[in-house]
Structure 1
Amino acid sequence: MTDEVKKAPGPNRRTVLEVGFSGAVVAAAGLPLAAAGPAAAAGPPVSGHLPATRSWHRYVQGPSGRTVRPMRIVRSDGDVTRPEALLTPGGRVTVLRRAQPPAAPRWPEGTTVEASSTHAGNNGNDGRPRTYEAGNAVDGDLSTFWNDDTERDFPDSLTLTTPEEQELSGLTVVSSTDGVPTDFTVAVWTDSAWRTVATVTGNTAVQRAVRFDAPVSTARVRVTVTAAQDLGRGVFTRINEVWPQAVDPVVAPSVTIDFGKVVVGYPKVDFAWASDNHPGVRLAFSETLQYLTDRSDFTRADQAGGAGQGTDQYAVPADGASWTDRKGYGSDGDKVYADGLHGFRYLKITLDALPSDAPAVQPWGTVAVDAVSLDFTAYVGTPDSYRGWFLCSDEELNRYWYGASYTNELVVDTFRKDDVDPRNAFSASLDGKLVLHDGPKRDRDPYVGDLAVSARTLYLTHDEVAEAARNVLADLAEHQRDDGWIPPASINNYTLPLFDYPLWWVTCSWDHLLYTGDRDHAGRYYPQLVKVLDTWYPSVTDDAGLLSKGLNGTAGYGDYAFLGRTGRVTYYNANYVQALGDAARIAVHLGRAGDAQRWQERARKVAQAINTHLWDESVGAYLDSATGSVRHAQDGNAIAITSGVADSERAAAALAHLDRTTKRRYGNAFMDNDTLFGGASQRVYAFTSYPELVARFETGLADSAIDQIKRTYGWMDSHDPGITQWERIGPDGSLYEDAYTSMAHGWSTGVLPTLTHQLLGAKPTSPGYATWDVRPHPGSVNWAQGELPTPQGPLGVEWTRKDTTFTLTVRAPRGTLGSVALPTDGHRVTVHSGGRTLWKNGSATTPRVRPEPGYVTVSGLGPGTHRFTLVRES
């Protein structure tokens, strides 16, 4: 975190971003959320003015400072004394002890091994070739292994042949933590046939002792694997050694600690002392207990051939040390590797060492630990740092809003070479700059699609660091390809081919102008805007005026989920309409009327073509694609509504279809069937749920939007790791990619702008909040209040609904002009303000008051406090 981030921002840096998929329906890029639930949170606001209450502070999740300590001990195993001492530095110490193990049993000289399949070799991080042949299983070196090449195509077998018969009463299978055979059999060759002598199922142990019912004499042994553990990196077997005896493992002493929520930064361990044999510790990290094993759920080294084999290593000196986990090897050249920064909730510290790290470190001895902490690197969101806040009568919605804010704080961090995705994501042009990563764990690279949500969340909470979004937008623009295509991120040296992300760059550029008022930035990168819309996207447009993936060599291009969609896809084209509309707004505010008119006309024609070629009248929804199997997707249907492609009848029909076909207890799935891939109709993306929530609020379905929010965000909030919001949700509410899944992802925080802009109802309508609109969508919520940061100061809003009365108070900053819309719910109403009657008997009694469907609108409101009371007539 740079020093600039830590400084208290001055009032001239106030900026706001609103989350929403902008378009004709959502005028200034706003997402709807409905508040629900009978539970009252913190009491209703004081009538007549925005309350001075700070009761929202209790929902803030960020740490109080950069040094973060664990909250509890989850468990300890093996010989561990006083594990709880890790929680209280400076007092008693936690001691881990492990005896020196005996030498491992060996097969006789001349033993040979064959395998049914073998994975091809490759080079490790050090550039040295690695082999995975069967002989590694009997070479006495625990750092080498046989790796099958079947992925999910089991069975796989490993056959050992000795020079002469051996009497065996059992054997031991030692595997790597990311290749544990879960189901396998052991057979021996006797009487000219194979005979099964042991069957193992449900194994999770790295060292598994297998005892036979009776000793056998044989010269051939076969281990056949029928299933292996899946940790999200593929399903394969990695057997390091097979020993000719059943050797029970000595439990390695370990302590598992819980930081209470996902955190990010550099772990630090204070060692008091150790035995003089260089004992090692291995650190494993995980966002969930489910995937905390003897290795981390994910390390960046996993993306590039993990030198640490899934854990971070340290050799403890005899006189102790204060060790901060930084990326790289220890003092012994290419041994004792640590991966550095981690995003995690749980940390497991084990007295152990990799066999390949000997003699620099040993897996036995004694280690005394004084304390464990974390150097928190992301944005520290405290109550004093919040520039915008939200509170309503529903306890759950308040938790989700601040959970989203904390999730987003975790991804606001400095771009550093050692901490980003190792797949060629480092960029000197971003080095040292504040950015919005996609997640704290992975990939730790700024993707513009993620920015479409996370930047808006940032602008509504901590707008003083708006440069985190601006830096990413500028950098991607500066890496625009000659043909106009804009890269999605720095990964793969800015070459990752995505079809939709240049459109999100356009929308994010409008968002930045809208919420910050930064015309200089918009003007500087306007040529890139013109080039991507007028050069690249026309090159992938067919004769119907629709984007068609496959044209101009784009068949292999992906999208936000790397989906195998081709041809005319509703999502791409609705997104195109949205981007053209956003570009036209930028053009208007930069005085480029001709460009604005051209893009508006193109948007109109694309929208017409979508309705002509992609609407499925038989079900009342937009097709996912005009090519291949018939299916209907959340992304295309939702953005078709929010971008104005769909009229009111089509919008209602499409949302009804999604309700019928995609509703799950953990959210709404992003496909209505499984024709794209297996389980698609059970997978939930908060990223694409966001525009559906907008669509539901903006079409008068506030209660269904609230229900969807509570199913989606309630599921994530109530399951490990809690609080933070997941990248995606898999079938039955699972982690969709097992241990690899990111459980804190900025693109999933759309609930925050939804609650602020749709439930509370406030959003900007022109750059820098020069104009604003307050239009509540209360649903079943009884009251709501909050502030939005603007360049001129906070825009404060408070409303309360009780019986037949709805009261609304707005405090507008200087230099702004706005309007309010009071919900009538279809009833005849009277509206009062400042002792005057503004609306009665279906008519306005003063200028600038007019009816709209479901609302009475009052416009032309300048700076100051404005109070309104709406009374439903009997």
Structure 2
Amino acid sequence: MTSSSTTPNTGQPGPGRRTVLAAGAGAGAAALTAGPLSATPAAATPGADTAAAKAPGVPRLGTGWQRYVQGPASRTVRPARALAPTGDVRNPDALLKPGGARTVLHRPQPTPAPRWPQGTTAQASSTHAGNNGNDGQPRTYDAANAVDGNPDTFWNDDTLGAFPDTLTITLPEPQELSGITVISNSDGVPTDFTVDVLAGDGWQTAATVADNDVIQRAVPFTAPVSTNQVRITVTGVQDTPRGAFTRINEVWPEPVEPVVAPSVTIDFGKVVVGYPRIRFTSASDNSPGVRLAFSETRQFLTDRSDFTRSDQAGGAGQGCDQFAVPAQGADWSDRKGFQSGDKVYADGLHGFRYLRVTLDALASDAPAAQPWGTVEIDAVSLDFTAYLGTPATYRGWFLCSDDDLNRYWYGAAYTNELVTDTFRQDDVDPRNAWTASLEGRLVLHDGAKRDRDPYVGDLAVSAPTLYLTHDDAAAAARNVLADLAEHQRADGWIPPASIASYTLALFDYPLWWVTCSWDYVLYTGDRTYAARYYPQLLKVLDVWYPSVTDDAGLLSKGLNNTGGYGDYAFLPRTGRITYYNVLYVQALTDAARLARLLGHEADAARWTARAATVKDAVNTHLWDDAAGAYLDSGTGAARHAQDGNALAVTAGVADADRAASALAHLDATTRRPYGNAFMDNDTIFDGASQRVYAFTSYPEIVARFEAGRADSALDQIRRTYGWMDTHDPGITNWEGIGPNGSLYEDAYTSMAHGWSTGVLPALTHHLLGARPTSPGYATWEVRPHPGDVAWAQGQLPTPHGPLRVAWENSGGTFHLTVVVPHGTRATIAVPGGRHLTVRAGNRQVWDGRHGRDATVGVVDGRVTISELPPGTHDFTARRDG
């Protein structure tokens, strides 16, 4: 789910890419020669030690993939390195492992801050209105806060980035000043400002500051001056996710250079999630404070965390976690709460890569914690809370000849492991997301850092990723789907998540609940779930969505008071939207499959007919002949969105010609070095044509594979996931990518987000080609789309045991091995068209025109062999001549 502050590519085969029948690693024609339809005994299948697996350059089936696994070896995670310390720090590398040398941070006791004389006042050009803080207490932001001696309060302008902003300080009588010090808030640092003083008959400039990036800025004057008024004129500030504000906490009547706070930054090497732990061996006897700042990227690593839950709702940490170190030391685990009464607050669980440990304390925490003294530390670690994915836990795996694709697959798997965690009250999104019905249950959260709440739309990607890697944790998806169904509204609408006490109004997510319910049953075969929640399925499709359907049969946001409803990206679009309607077709089709599974044929027929009506209406009212693509909206400015055009292909709304045209349009208009943008222009908001969502890129990648454009699908994967893999923090998949490949919501962006892991199911289901076709893998197919990949192997976990696939590609020869578990039936569809000869072992099963028996034929232009029984089957396909 994009943030609810709470807020995808194409490519034709590039130069040098070869178009081939399939791909191969140079194995000879004798490869894969076991019998075809008479299977190898099932007891022999786990090893599947075929000739293909032994071909040059191809590892033995089931080996080699383990080295790509990213998860930690145990739940105690040690950092990888210590980065450059600041201030008085000894032995910073000692933090990396316990025992031996100790890291020591020291800071002398500071001198008292200079104060203005009593009676000093301050006025500002504008002041932000007061409000209640996250703790419910009233807050003021007026100019007087800058001279009240309390560094925890601040003046906040109210011009939303419009400059200049002025703060004028008036003394009761003239005083000689040699300069001032400006103490600013970390999310409102003035970068450019002048300081004027009233002298003689007018204002004189005493100092000018440019490119400031520090919170405590000493501003010496060129010469001492006697004055009773000082004016600070701000012309630039650091931009933040919340906007550009001037926020000045204090102004001191002397230039005071800051004493550099001793700090060490620790790099865990990749994003991790859990409870940080520090073993303090001793400290000075004044309760020296330690502040912890966390960030997923170095770009947003400051004295303040890139995100804390207390930023959203409650807590007194001011962007950091705090601890006051006792003289005897402590083995401290960072858990949510106050250490002493209402002082020294910590937020608890974090998702991060970088941790900055600083000897410092909030002024409001005195005397419980002091910003000076000496602290000795033995080691820092993390208690990892998420799914612990090790080579031993992977029940599905993937490997191919392209090392980058392997890295992206396992990076997605690790990303998903980070969001597979137990729902705990202290660790979830604080915006009324906690619910007793999920407490203690395994779920798929939205992100590791934020939003830590399970959103059903995200499950459309993260749940298949889970099923294909760790299906033993499939309950994480079921728990979420069942909980949302049980909170269905009386009118049939199903909430997107527990956030806002299940009231966050999204228009599209009830449709994702339908599709995700079908996916869960498809992968697991859990008929009990399907039967238990069938009444909710009926109600959402036959009561709520008809209430927002217009006379053309199209969903129209705005009907039934839904104009204010959001969607996955909180986009301001209403009326007939292609994305909503093609998603509706997909959901109706999936619901019909569930209905047939349960024997409800009349429901299945009704939903199938309705899907056909919506499909025809989309093609009639929302296709743009001029652009050769589907409009995003039937009203307003013409634009063409990735979500609607991609899902139109995958949901079967677009025929082959329209699919090719729509994908070509996305090629021409949305291609970026870091993926495909989710809009082709900026008419919906500024920068939309530069924003990439991997969430909506996933169906486009699938559409390209299914449209026979494997090379363009792989190109899109390499741009999208290659960008994320090679940019900080590396490995994990980002919530969104902004202009020029930036973090689309700056520090607030989640850099490990389950909805962005679509590369994993895309590579397994479409490059490797294996996927279920009926619940619980009772039937499944292998339909490879090799593109420029030479060979691929993989295993999919099923309720019947593992199924395995391996193929190779060499010139005009394609070799394929499938291992069929007991209790299932498989179909293979060989790439390369009908003009092939296909052999199963030494027997020819297709001669280019005819099949050996009724199980062999041509379907959708591919030679297809069906009804493969349990065992190992090997095939060789050649283009003769």
TM bin (shorter chain): over 0.9
Unmatched segments (≥5 aa) in structure 2? 1-9, 28-48, 55-59
1:836 is aligned to 843
1:13 is aligned to none
Superposition map of 1:487-502 within 5 A: 487-502=495-510
Matched, 1:68 2:77: yes
1:537 is aligned to 545
1:18 is aligned to none
- Equivalent residue of 1:410, what SS? helix
For 1:120 and 1:230, how far apart are their aligned partners in 2? 20
- Equivalent residue of 1:722, what SS? coil
1:855 is aligned to 862
1:805 shift after superposition:
1.1
1:164 shift after superposition:
1.5
For 1:605 and 1:192, how far apart are their aligned partners in 2? 80
2:99 is aligned to 90
Deviation string 1:301-360 (CA, Å, 9 cap, x unpaired) is 1111551000000000001000000000012x1100000000000000000000000011
Deviation string 1:796-817 (CA, Å, 9 cap, x unpaired) is 0000011221000000100111
- Structure 1 stretches of at least 4 aligned residues deviating more than 6 Å after TM superposition: 31-38, 40-45
Contact 1:156/1:225 (8 A) holds in 2: yes
Matched, 1:375 2:383: yes
Q: In structure 2, do the counterparts of structure 1 residues 842 and 595 end up closer, same or farther at CA, with 3 Å as the change threshold? A: same
1:829 shift after superposition:
1.4
For 2:576 and 2:272, how far apart are their aligned partners in 1? 41
1:275 is aligned to 284
1:23 is aligned to none
Query: What amino acid is aligned across from residue 160 of structure 1 in structure 2?
Result: I
Matched, 1:449 2:453: no
Among 147, 165, 174, the residue aligned to 2:156 = 147
Compare 102-111 and 639-648 and name the one that shifted more.
Answer: 102-111
For 2:202 and 2:593, how far apart are their aligned partners in 1? 78
Contact 1:33/1:777 (8 A) holds in 2: no
1:855 shift after superposition:
1.6
1:243 is aligned to 252
- Equivalent residue of 1:566, what SS? coil
For 2:834 and 2:479, how far apart are their aligned partners in 1? 48
Matched, 1:433 2:441: yes
Among 186, 200, 203, the residue aligned to 1:194 = 203
For 1:340 and 1:738, how far apart are their aligned partners in 2? 22
Contact 1:435/1:471 (8 A) holds in 2: yes
1:634 shift after superposition:
0.2
2:232 is aligned to 223
Matched, 1:260 2:269: yes
For 2:269 and 2:68, how far apart are their aligned partners in 1? 14
For 1:37 and 1:351, how far apart are their aligned partners in 2? 55
- TM score, norm. by length of structure 2: 0.93
Matched, 1:752 2:760: yes
Deviation string 1:427-468 (CA, Å, 9 cap, x unpaired) is 010000000000010010000010110001000000001000
For 2:565 and 2:868, how far apart are their aligned partners in 1? 48
For 1:180 and 1:412, how far apart are their aligned partners in 2? 37
Contact 2:24/2:809 (8 A) holds in 1: no
1:657 is aligned to 665
For 2:612 and 2:291, how far apart are their aligned partners in 1? 59
- Equivalent residue of 2:864, what SS? strand
1:873 is aligned to 880
Compare 145-154 and 347-356 and name the one that shifted more.
Answer: 145-154
Deviation string 1:779-803 (CA, Å, 9 cap, x unpaired) is 0001000000000000100000112
Unmatched segments (≥5 aa) in structure 1? 1-30
Query: What amino acid is aligned across from residue 238 of structure 1 in structure 2?
Result: R
Give the number of equivalent residue pairs.
841
1:52 shift after superposition:
4.4
2:178 is aligned to 169
1:84 shift after superposition:
0.6
2:362 is aligned to 354
1:217 shift after superposition:
2.3
1:77 is aligned to 86
Deviation string 1:241-273 (CA, Å, 9 cap, x unpaired) is 101111110000000000000000000000010
1:202 shift after superposition:
1.9
Deviation string 1:612-671 (CA, Å, 9 cap, x unpaired) is 000000010000001111100000000011000000110000000000000000000000
For 2:141 and 2:24, how far apart are their aligned partners in 1? 59
1:49 shift after superposition:
5.7
1:28 is aligned to none
Among 779, 784, 801, the residue aligned to 1:793 = 801
For 2:277 and 2:52, how far apart are their aligned partners in 1? 50
Matched, 1:415 2:415: no
1:592 is aligned to 600
Query: What amino acid is aligned across from residue 103 of structure 1 in structure 2?
Result: P
For 1:430 and 1:218, how far apart are their aligned partners in 2? 63
2:4 is aligned to none
- Equivalent residue of 1:515, what SS? helix
For 2:52 and 2:723, how far apart are their aligned partners in 1? 37
Matched, 1:637 2:645: yes
1:820 shift after superposition:
0.1
Query: What amino acid is aligned across from residue 356 of structure 1 in structure 2?
Result: S
- Equivalent residue of 2:343, what SS? coil
- Equivalent residue of 1:417, what SS? coil
Q: In structure 2, do the counterparts of structure 1 residues 34 and 84 end up closer, same or farther at CA, with 3 Å as the change threshold? A: farther
For 1:85 and 1:34, how far apart are their aligned partners in 2? 51
Query: What amino acid is aligned across from residue 367 of structure 1 in structure 2?
Result: V
2:728 is aligned to 720
Deviation string 1:105-130 (CA, Å, 9 cap, x unpaired) is 11111111011222222334444322
Query: What amino acid is aligned across from residue 866 of structure 1 in structure 2?
Result: H
1:5 is aligned to none
For 2:265 and 2:517, how far apart are their aligned partners in 1? 44
Q: In structure 2, do the counterparts of structure 1 residues 691 and 33 end up closer, same or farther at CA, with 3 Å as the change threshold? A: farther
1:212 shift after superposition:
2.1
Seq. identity, %: 72
Matched, 1:864 2:868: no
Superposition map of 1:119-134 within 5 A: 119-134=128-143
1:162 shift after superposition:
0.7
- Equivalent residue of 1:330, what SS? strand
Superposition map of 1:417-566 within 5 A: 417-566=425-574
Query: What amino acid is aligned across from residue 99 of structure 1 in structure 2?
Result: P
Superposition map of 1:811-830 within 5 A: 811-824=819-832, 826=833, 828-830=835-837
Q: In structure 2, do the counterparts of structure 1 residues 633 and 52 end up closer, same or farther at CA, with 3 Å as the change threshold? A: closer
1:214 shift after superposition:
2.4
- TM score, norm. by length of structure 1: 0.94
1:298 is aligned to 307
Among 44, 47, 51, the residue aligned to 1:47 = 51
Contact 2:94/2:379 (8 A) holds in 1: yes
Query: What amino acid is aligned across from residue 57 of structure 1 in structure 2?
Result: Q
1:32 shift after superposition:
14
1:34 shift after superposition:
11
2:631 is aligned to 623
Compare 302-311 and 417-426 and name the one that shifted more.
Answer: 302-311
Matched, 1:104 2:104: no
Contact 2:280/2:330 (8 A) holds in 1: yes
Contact 1:32/1:694 (8 A) holds in 2: no
Contact 1:41/1:393 (8 A) holds in 2: no
Contact 1:182/1:202 (8 A) holds in 2: yes
Query: What amino acid is aligned across from residue 563 of structure 1 in structure 2?
Result: L
Deviation string 1:145-176 (CA, Å, 9 cap, x unpaired) is 11222232332211101112222221110012
- Equivalent residue of 2:720, what SS? helix
1:48 shift after superposition:
4.4
- Equivalent residue of 1:809, what SS? strand
Contact 1:33/1:709 (8 A) holds in 2: no
